[in-house]
Structures are given as C-alpha cells and as structure tokens.
Amino acid sequence: MRQTAARHPWWAYGALAVLLAALLFGAWGVWTVASGGAGGGSSSAGHRVELERLEQEVATLKRSDQISRDANAELQASLAARDEEIAGLRSDVAFYERFVGATAQPRGLAVHELELRPQQADGQVWHFIATLTQTRDRDAPSAGRLTLSVEGTQDGRLQRLSWADLRQQPDANGSEYSFRYFQRVEGDIILPPGFVPLRIHTRLAPSSGAPIERTIPWAEAARVAVDG
C-alpha cells in the first residue's frame, strides 16, 4: 500500500504534463491561424490600394491622351487655316503682278471679276465679291461707289431689280471703293421669293468721270464661286 501511494503522484504529474502540452500546442495553432488570417487581410488591402493607384494612373494617361488629341486637332485646324491664308496671299500676289508688273498693259477702271455665293438654301440671300482693277493712272487712286442690279423673271415676266431692291433699302447707297491698283468689294443682296435671276449688271460710279457698266450672266458669276 505504501508503494502504490508513492507511485501515484508521478502518474498524476505525467497526465498533467501531457494536458499542458496539448493546451500549448492548441494555443500555438490558434495563434498561427490568426496570424495567417491577419496577414492575408493586410495583403488584400495592399492589393486594393495598388489596384486603385493603377486605375488612377490609367485615368490620368487617358486624360493626357485626350488633351494631346484635342491639341493636335486644334493645331491641324490652325495649320489648315494658315495654309488657306497663304494660298490666298499667293493668289493676290500673282493677281497683283499680272496687273502692275513691268509687262502689264495699262487698264482703266473695271470690274475684273464678280463672284456670287449663296448664303441660304432657298437661294434668296447671296454674297457678292467684286474685284475692281485699274492700272492706267498709277499716281491717283480710284474712288467711287459700286452698285448692282439683277435681271430675271418672276411669274413668267421679265423684271429688273435695282440696288435698292436688292438691299431692301429705299435709299441704299452703293458700296464704296478706293484703291490704286485693285480692291475687293463685298456685300449681300436679297432676291424676292420665286425670282429667277438671269443676268447681273455692275455699275461703277467714280468720283470723277463717267460711270462704267458691265453685264455678267448670273450662272457665270455663281460658277466662279463654285469653281474657286
């Protein structure tokens, strides 16, 4: 009996040691799982931050690309306008050289060319561009007024519209001009509904001297604008 009582504490101590070891192992496992889960959450949050950063960079690049495209389109439009302006200046220079060059023949005051450009689909409002020239008197400028009249038909009858009719102003004055070699005079004229134009008459009334008139087929004046 004494021998059994003496061995009993060792058995109890062994069982207690095993139990403590199991508890410690379990606690270590729980800590490991918890640590792994916390690490995964931190990694996921980091990925989200990185994704948001990349999306922001993509959005910034897209905006920069759009700004570049808009700037390029604006530049192309500006270059096209500049090319058109240069072409117009070259045409003016060629025109100038043809009329005032050393080999050019002296010419009196005249309407060299008349362009008609429709401003509305119904064909009632037209913009005219009259190119006036003179190279005979190079010392004194030519000055005066230009007026137009249009001959055509309306309701089957021949009719001629005066400058006042075309301007829709009873006391309309002619378009003023003053130049030494050439000048372009522009303005608008209005045709009544149903009027079919056939010919347009130009009249230059210089400040001194007799008026100068010219008749141009309407189709020819309108075609000049289309071809140009």
Q: What is the DSSP string of 155-193?
A: TTEEEEE-HHHHHT-TTPPPEEEEESSEEEEEEEEEPPT
pLDDT digits over 150-172, tens only? Answer: 999 999 999 999 999 999 999 89
The confidence band for 226, taking pLDDT boundaries of 50, 70 and 90, is very low
Q: Has residue 128 got a pLDDT over 50?
A: yes
The confidence band for 102, taking pLDDT boundaries of 50, 70 and 90, is low
Global pTM reads: 0.58
**Where in the chain are the domains?**
1-104, 110-227
CATH architecture of the domain 110-227 equals Sandwich (2.60)
pLDDT digits over 183-203, tens only? Answer: 999 999 999 999 999 999 999
The confidence band for 8, taking pLDDT boundaries of 50, 70 and 90, is low
How far is 198 from 105, CA to CA, in rounded Å?
32
